Structure 1
């Protein structure tokens, strides 16, 4: 009897389940929150609820945090470059890198009745908002698209630290127009924008990688199986990704 009571006390003293910590690019934060909710709802109700802690920011900032020891289990980058750099370093698990979404870039001019198309863009003047090309893949894509249209040197820029901040610059009216993620426009029911041709910038392959320091790799893999399922792939496409 004493042994049975001791066993019960031991079981109740154990943590209910591991907490997974995910670092995600800011453009995918809201979509990931929805995926996490669906993941938790579909889990076996007899199992403890899985705690998943999501931290978002620009890919460059998150990358630097991971390089300096931030205790994440999974890195969901907005590009392939930094995910690859992590995988090829001691910080990432070999062969764990995968593409979870492909981003689409849009030019947004919310406070105007003018039809936004390529002709309008080619005649663009003044100052526009972009994400910092050195930190945010969507900023780099905006630079590439403007260079392909021979507009890069003709405009001036206000730069957000990440694509969400860039969106806020435009949404609050601090700046008239700019280049943002299509997913953010759909998420906020925004109108009056132009989708940049996908051949005007390098593909925005948003890739993830499991981090070596994770002490919960089986739990991470279980979540990744769900993230990479066809049902979730359809959900991600419906959110403005290619």
Structure 2
């Protein structure tokens, strides 16, 4: 369940927050986690966990049951997740700082994951309203490097998905090169994966989003009032 505050409040000072009864997360970001349809008892991998906002949401969807792996190659980003998990009283998260995305712990999970979430590093064009100065760092060369990094991450984590399992790819970018084109390139190389409509996944959970014209999820600040996100849901045959 998500709540929207209509006025400013110092929620981080509240007793409810200190007791781990809620976390703060953008509405669009919450929708990404819901695309996984993670369930109790599953094996779930958050391949680019970062600060762990989506990881904690996945843990809630799993009701603390099953195995939830939180991977990241940046120790500083993953470090924030430990106190957040303790505050939320979550005990089924297994944190791993990786030397690279094909580390042994990743390879041991080949063909075993019910769900793999890849919230890939991206240009951040979807969150410029929060950080407008970042626009000056977005260059064609930077985007090209990110596209290659995203491709490598997808190639590293796709083998973890078991037959019948799900791979969810997401960015906070609005650029087709990082989104639609990235997924089409992946599907051309991996015919064992099939794209399924994100709107149908959300509809099963009682969520209807306007302006979704194809199988991808696209959320834009001007249309939906959230940060900008893209997501694709892929199922392995």
- What range is the shorter-chain TM-score in? under 0.3
What TM-score does the superposition give when structure 2 sets the normalisation length? 0.27
Compare CA radii of gyration and give the structure with the larger one. Answer: 1
What TM-score does the superposition give when structure 1 sets the normalisation length? 0.27
Higher RCO (CA 8 Å, separation ≥ 6 residues): 1
